[in-house]
Structure 1
C-alpha cells in the first residue's frame, strides 16, 4: 500500500533528505533516532525500531605468560637442614634410604639427628615474560551518510 495519498506524506513517515541540515523543509524534522545508524529491514531477525550494533568492538585477548626454568645454586637456597632417618641398633643394614648410624635409645635423645645447615638465602631470578595486545576494531560496513527526516 503506497504511503503517498492525496494529502502527501503522512505524519511519522521517514525519507532521505537531499539537502543539508539547515534546509530541512517546513513540516519535517531531523529523524534524530536514525542519526549515525544504518538501516536494516525489520520483520525477521530484527523488530521495528530495534537498535543494535556498535561502531567499534574490542575483542577478548588471551595473554601468554611464561617463567623460565631455573635451578637454584647452593648459594641461592634458603639456609636449611634435613632430618636424618636412622637405623636403630640391631636393625637390618640393607634398609634403603637410611643412614647407617647406631644411636642411643630414642628414650635418651632430646632432638632428632639433622644434616649440617646448607644454603645462604641469596636472591635468584627465574626470568619471565608476558605478551598481549588488543585494540578496537572498526565494525562498520561500507556506507554513505544521508539525512533522514520525519514528517511532523
Structure 2
C-alpha cells in the first residue's frame, strides 16, 4: 500500500514533526510505503531549484500512485499545498485520513466558550475551511489525536487487506 503524507513543510517544527509521525507509522506498518514530500530532494532541496511545474508534477504523480492520503490540517489555515493535494486525492477517490490536533477545539460544550461566539472577536475555537473538510469527510475521516489517527490507519489497513 502506498500512502501519501500531505503536510506543511517549511518551518523546522513542521519538518521535525512530519519526520516523527512518518517514522512512527513506518515502524508500526513496515509493509506500507509512505511518500513524505520533504524527503524528495529533487524538488524540495530549498538550496537548489525546482519550478512550480516540477513540484506539481512530482507530487501529483505520488498522490495518484497512492491508495491512501494522510493530511495534517493544523496551522493558521490548512496549508495551501496540503489543500491542493487533498483536492487531487478527492478527485481520484483516494481515501483521506486527516489529523487536526488544534487544542482550541477542546471544551466545545463549555457554556462561556459557546456564549463568546456571540461577541465579535471572542471566538474561542479555530476555524477550518469547510470545503476542504468536506472533501476529506466525503471519503475519509478527521482525527483530533495522533493515537486516534493511528487507530484509524490500522482499521483502514486491516480493511484493505481483507478486501484484497
Structure with more relative contact order (C-alpha pairs < 8 Å, separation 6 or more): 1
Larger Rg, first or second structure (1 or 2): 1
Return the TM-score normalized by structure 1: 0.17
Return the TM-score normalized by structure 2: 0.16
Q: Whose helix fraction is larger, Structure 1's or Structure 2's?
A: 2
